[in-house]
Amino acid sequence: MGAGASLPELKDKDLEKLAKKNGLTKEGVKFFYNHYAVLQAKIKDPADMENRWMIEKLFDDLFPERETLTFGQYLETLMKFRSQSVDERAEFYFRILNYDKDTVINQADIAVFLQQISNYKFTPGDRVRIANGDDERTGILSFYGKTDFGKGTWAGITLDTPSTLD
């Protein structure tokens, strides 16, 4: 991705404001903000079938009352979107990532988002890599799907190097 796709660094006060407004931690806002350019790149080519889900999601969010649009309506809405502030655009992308429509983005939301835009179907037995800050581990996907104990899609991973409790 070219240098033009990156965004300016967010100031600490802006991080706090966005975090409070969206029910996120400052780290969550940083994660989201840093992936903004990636999200923008994913929606540029509607002919790319891998991005079809993203285009449909954007259409639903941009035009919730309409099933079809005239070219004029499309241009009007696109111009409105392009004139929005970084905060407003970030909120829009937050809604796209927030699959289960609650007030937070969690790993399940991100997993569904990534699965949808890549058209990749996770299946038990897949090798996976997970990361939490600097702690990165690899393992085998043991379970992927719905559960009785929580909303959304869950993943069970058998780690190559299990964590130990202190």
The residues spanned by each domain of the chain are 9-106, 121-166
The predicted structure's pLDDT at residue 8: 59
pLDDT of res. 49: 41
| CA gap 96, 109 in Å, rounded | 10
Q: Tens of pLDDT along the chain (166 residues)?
A: 333 334 556 678 877 877 777 666 777 667 666 655 455 555 454 444 444 445 555 555 555 565 566 656 666 766 777 777 878 777 877 777 777 778 888 877 777 776 666 655 677 887 777 777 677 788 888 888 888 888 888 888 888 887 665 4
Structure confidence by residue, pLDDT tens digits, 59-97? 555 555 655 666 566 667 667 777 778 787 778 777 777
What was the pLDDT predicted at 52?
Answer: 47
Give residues with Cβ within 8 angstroms of 159, minimum separation 6: 137, 138, 139
Q: Which of 118, 116, 117, 106 is nearest to 154 (CA)?
A: 106
Q: Report helix, strand or coil for 156.
A: strand
